[in-house]
Structure 1
Amino acid sequence: MSNLLSPAEDSFWSEQILGLTHLTLAVLLGLLLLAVATRFLTMRLSPRILKKVIRSDSIQSKTVKESDKALGTAAGAGISFYILNALLNLPANETTGFVLPGMLEDFIPNILQFIFAVSLVVWAFRLVSIVKDVVELFDKDGELDGSEKTLISAVESLLRFLIIALGAVFIADALGFNLTSLVAGLGISGLALALAAKDTISNLFGATTVLLDRPFKVGDWVIIDSVEGEVMEISLRTTLIRTAADTVVTVPNANLVNTPIENFGKRRWRRWQSLLHLDLNSDPDDVASFCDAVMELITASDVTVKHDSSWCQVTTLSAQSLDLSLNLYWDVAGGAPEREAKEKFLLGIMQLAKEKNLKFFDARMMLNS
């Protein structure tokens, strides 16, 4: 037993109920009320304090408003555990007073420590989502690019892993596990654990390779083995790919180390080739003028590059049509801008053909004749 306070033996505080003195019950009740009051004050005051320090509404919401219960519970349990632990470590004397039986002397502090650890882990786990808001706070252009999204995803995954690992240690300690013996036991079963975690370790190395070599980033359109789509998220274990069918494919990071990756997001330009089929009765001078006008249309565009390597020329004189070959290079950031540029360009070609009195080959006209 631990005698921490020393009231007179015949006083009210020394009387016992169910093996506990009145003083012990009063202290335990006081610690309970203190925990509840601390939780309430933390939930009430922390948003106001944070509002003066941080101006971002999103960070305020995720830090306190959405997880105020976990934060308040951690604060209440933490301060009660600290005070109780301090009382239990005071020099004991022979008189009765604040006395906890041997079982309760271990049980109550462990319960408080367990509640504190679990609440803190829950709050910290929810806090991970503010990484994106912090990056946006310091981002000058106000828009996150693929590299920043990749970094955010990696940092969030790493923080979650660390929180779970450290939280498991704290919770194990609160439950009374001997961490020294546990660590020593890992040395004995280390080989079995390493074999069991082989795939997990491979995925971690794969994630490290992706982050260091940067073969792709969040937002890139890639082909990995037989999977094609947009990179959604890069975590410590897997990479998520959204396909053109709007399905999500989970690719283990271990597969990325030895698999060829085709990244459309790193293209310097987008080559486009097509054929224009003109009527065989087209005037040669009009066709030549039309080709020159198409080249002017290409060079005048703001979204084309490599004009020296672009062309619009007659390539084939077939039995049915006069074929013109088109070759040009788009300088656009994604599929949607490319489609818009292509639409504008093709409508421009139709307008040029109309101005030059040229008609495109129509198989229906051949059938009618």
Structure 2
Amino acid sequence: MDSKCVISQIEATLDSAARGTMETVKDILNFEIVGIDVQTYLLAFLAIVGGFAGKRVAVAGLKRLGKTAERTDMAYDDILIAAANRPIEWACIIGGIWLSLVILPMPREPVDIEQFVNSMMRGGSTILLLWFGLRLVDGLTAHWEVKAEKTESRLDDQILPIIRSSSKVFIVVVGVILFLQNLGYSVASLVAGVGIGGAALAFAAKDTLSNLFGSIVIFLDRPFHIGDWIEMGDVEGVIEEVGLRTTRLRTFANSQITIPNALFTTSTINNWSRMQKRRIKMSVGLTYDTTPEQMALAVEAIREVIRNDEGFHQDFFIVNFDNMGPHSLDIFIYAFSITTNWLDFLAVKQRFLLNIMRAMAEVGVGFAFPTQTLHIDSLPGEPESLTSQRPN
């Protein structure tokens, strides 16, 4: 037997074995278990494997994104990635399971299993979104708490737990409503009932809610801090404590005033502690026997006092002969001290007034005070001899 015949026989044997193997594989794949062929089971199994493989890919991608986000100055991208990490992992697994269930034929009678599975998957997606929202709230509030610890006010430390709890309750309520809706339940009546109950609760607690929103406005706008000297209407004093409902202020008479936070949203607040400089506005009255030359010297002497005092801003001040009053010649003084501290300001002002007194003494003029000259034409019971001697 020559070699060509041997090769032909081998090829025929291999071809026959391959056809037999293919037929066997086809028979195995077409073999049905509970009415479903093995090929469909394998595809469903591969879908589940793909879900877990997608989880691995998602984890690796999120790690790379996390490393990239760490190199940025903004913290919110790190918070977003950290919040989405676990939900995305489970979304890959649940997606693989859902795809495997879609591949498998599901009966519709007597129970529509396919619709039930689709509803459960939509509900699962809602739960994942709910989980992501809760993790995001935790991350954001934790970041804000670190910032709040660096501030002087305790209001932000008190309000952050309320923001966290309120946000979580809101997310859970919305998530439950969406979950029930995806399961096929009618939530219109539930939403209407919640709306009516919320409106009634808001009306009953409108003052408390207005004060709470007032505290939020204080937290966001920061019109003052603990220890600031403020004036609002006829109330003036130093802020001692800012709470969720009220703010406590210590007056200069050492009494404590409690102010509802809602008033801060509708009233004008004058924060004296935020002055960049403190004003001195006053007039110095000289006697009427002051000559014009002495007045000019007096004005220049006061200007020189301000120039030589390091406690005053030198960029702007006014000293001018301003008025001829009923009992004095008035010099108007308008200047600003560098310090805004009250005690230091009083020391600067005292030094300034003493220097003015010394300067006026050197010029040779005197300070005026309210006086009146009384001209008597006649006195009751005056003797005729005195009347005849009065000059005409």
TM-score under structure 2 normalisation?
0.45
Which one has a bigger Cα radius of gyration?
A: 2
Higher relative contact order, structure no. (Cα contacts within 8 Å, ≥ 6 residues apart) = 1
TM-score under structure 1 normalisation?
0.47
